[in-house]
Amino acid sequence: MTMEDIALSADPTADVHHYPLDPLSGAEIEAAAAVITASEYCTPTLKFVMIQLAEPAKTATLTFDDTAGTPRCAFVTMYDAAAKMIYEAVVDLTARVIDSWTPIPGRFPSYLVEHMTGVEEAVREDPRWQEAMRKRGVTDFSLAMIDPWPAGYYGAQDHYDNSPLICRPLTFMRAAPSEHGYARPVEGLIVTFDLDAMKVIDVEDHGVVPLPPTAGNYSEKFMFDENNRPAFTQFRDDVKPIEITQPDGPSFTVDGWRVQWQKWSLRIGFNPREGITLHEVTYTDRGVTRPILYRGSLSEMVVPYGDSSPTHWNKNVFDMGEVGMGFSANPLTLGCDCLGEIHYFDGTVNDSSGNAVTIPNAICMHEEDFGISWKHTDFRTEEVEVRRSRRLVISMICTVGNYEYGFFWYFYNDASIEVEVKLSGVLTTGAVEVEPGEQPRWGKMVAPGIYGPNHQHFFNFRLDMSIDGAANSVYEVDSVPEPDPALNPHHNAWITQDTLVASEAEGARDWNWSTGRYWKVANPSKKNELGIPVAYKLVPKDVVPVMVQEGSHIYDRARFLQHNLWVTKYDPAEKFAAGDYMYQSADVQGLPEFVADDAPLENTDVVLWYTLGAHHVVRPEDWPVMPCAYTGFHLKPIGFFDGNPALDLPPSPPKACHANHVGLPVAERALES
């Protein structure tokens, strides 16, 4: 379909029923672009950065009963390189008009699609870069792998009036086409690249370091390197197949973007910046549908490096805000990325001309067995009751340059929710000359001549809570020894203390290992049978220290990671922990701005912003491709129910439970009779 066809077509939403929170379809994306292209605002140099759903305002009921009365609108961000200006527009797709047009001066956009593909060729043709490569003994430039790293921030020279949009590409050398390029980093070479003009501005050469000698390959295609040294000699022959089958089909049902699984109901969304978004998460308890989470998503992430070397000190990529998780989503593959009875959702994004681009199978959904949910053996009667846990898995995997990030949302049949991030892919490496047994100061050796710099990964998740409704209060809960000596004569008693987070000025909170701290979101107007307000708690899983230091440029760019939890009053304009546009900018944005008005938080519509991290001191075992590392957090009911919500799980079929029980205790063998 051409843009002219779209411009002349009728309402692109007329032939499809869309729920107001459903992601934009490809036709809607292209219709929004066509409306703008045909308007007086369009210029020959205007490019589309992101086209996504303009989410409608939250309703009092936390759902949309009158779906036909809610207009479909697109939120469009654009960049005009000639004007050095970002523009935001809201397009009414039903009326085919531009509702609003807003210039955003002094900011830079995230990458356009062509930035990721065009930089490499332009750098490869630059004579200054070629001369630097010849100094390193490289004459076959076709084997160079040039990654267009975001600019980070060096100082005021990176952001001044009429400054170009820049990146700082890093170079790696393959020994053969398709070989593992990150095994041969070109150390000390920094290119500054003008993304507006698509040309090299400058090449810095901080001195020649020999290219590492070994290939570091990890696939059967390159089982042996050029010196006939094995990466591995053969695949294991003792790995027997595992078949995961559900003869009656999965337990979930899907209606468009709505998912129902056991007592859970939720809606899945997708956009170029956040990737997966979850909406209207509810749980049905004894016939009553109870809201828990109105909207959940990754809000931002950053990867600060702890290495002062010239090619590493400025690495601090905001992979979501500077690149886009939706743009980076993989097409997932059955049997490799996902296993079992799978339902896929395609992701639809845009290119810079406003054309729709479909990422097939961008989101995977399936069920997993998760061991025992609960069990008890009455040793007197030898009666055993055991139930198996199951979880619904909703996931996407994103490739951003060298790294892979897997984002997994787990819903359990005990009404808990878990968010997990899996980190894999390839380390960003550096070349170094050290004596055997020595280590570089700011990293660790992973192979001869190759080291991995110290670095961290931080992910902030935005959780728009709705515990039995929108009016919630947040408490910080600490476990402490009984403070009254008269009540603690045996020095063993301890209590929990709830501290109300009363306003946004108190909303930046830190975890405390010594008190087993967690945070509780309660609804003061709804009480369980014990007369206690219903609640969910946020439980940290892995908490790492933040090594970013005050005085560094990254400190101000990523203030959100200075606290584990932030609590704000709901504001639909506040979606991203580091601000809307952080590219090539050093000023404080995002959460510090959001809490500046010190809005009251008690018994109101609250949003949790939780930051989790991965602390990466690299190992040789992380090379040449990294085994998954895991980090995440839990949301668990705490008085939300009157008892264990998983009591009604059915027993497993006898044949599934009691085969091959020779040698087991009498209490378990007795079940077979």
- Please say whether the beta carbons of 591 and 582 come within 8 A: no
- Nearest 5°: the CA angle 420, 424, 429 is 135
**SS3 annotation, 65-132:** CCHHHCCCEEEEEEEECCCCEEEEEEEECCCCEEEEEEEECCCCCCCCHHHHHHHHHHHHCCHHHHHH
SS3 of 622, please?
helix
Q: How far is CA 585 from CA 24, 191, 615, in A?
A: 30, 19, 25
Q: Which residues pair with 85 in a beta bridge?
A: 80
**SS3 annotation, 268-315:** EEEECCCEEEEEEEEEEECCEEEEEEEEEEEEEEEEEECCCCCCCCCC
Q: How far is CA 608 from CA 217, 281, 519, 563, in A?
A: 42, 15, 10, 12
- Nearest 5°: the CA angle 325, 330, 336 is 135
Spatial CA neighbour of 315 closest among 429, 163, 204, 184: 429
Q: Count the alpha carbons within 13 Å of 503 in the hemisphere toward its beta carbon.
A: 6
In the residue annotation, 22 being an active-site residue is answered as no
Spatial CA neighbour of 91 closest among 275, 358, 354: 354
How far is it, in rounded angstroms, from Cα 342 to Cα 333?
A: 10
**SS3 annotation, 495-530:** EEEEEECCEHHHCEECCCHHHCCEEEEEEEEEECCC
* 70-74 own/partner pairs: CB under 8 Å, 24+ apart: 70/20, 71/95, 72/13, 72/18, 72/20, 72/24, 72/28, 73/99, 74/24, 74/28, 74/29, 74/31, 74/32
How far is it, in rounded angstroms, from Cα 626 to Cα 629?
A: 8
Q: Give the CA dihedral 317, 322, 324, 327, nearest 10 degrees.
A: -100
Catalytic, out of 403, 451, 518, 583: 403
Q: Count the alpha carbons within 13 Å of 55 in the hemisphere toward its beta carbon.
A: 21
- Nearest 5°: the CA angle 155, 161, 163 is 65
How far is it, in rounded angstroms, from Cα 642 to Cα 669?
A: 33
Catalytic, out of 319, 468, 605, 622: 319
E strand or H helix that includes residue 18: none
Residues 6 or more apart from 477 whose CB is under 8 A from it? 496, 497, 498, 499, 517, 518, 519, 520, 537
In the residue annotation, 111 being an active-site residue is answered as no
Q: Which residues pair with 584 in a beta bridge?
A: none
How far is it, in rounded angstroms, from Cα 351 to Cα 272?
A: 10
How far is it, in rounded angstroms, from Cα 535 to Cα 466?
A: 10
Residues 6 or more apart from 436 whose CB is under 8 A from it? none
Query: Residue 591 corresponds to which tokens in the numbers above?
Result: 């959460």
Return the active site residues: 319, 403
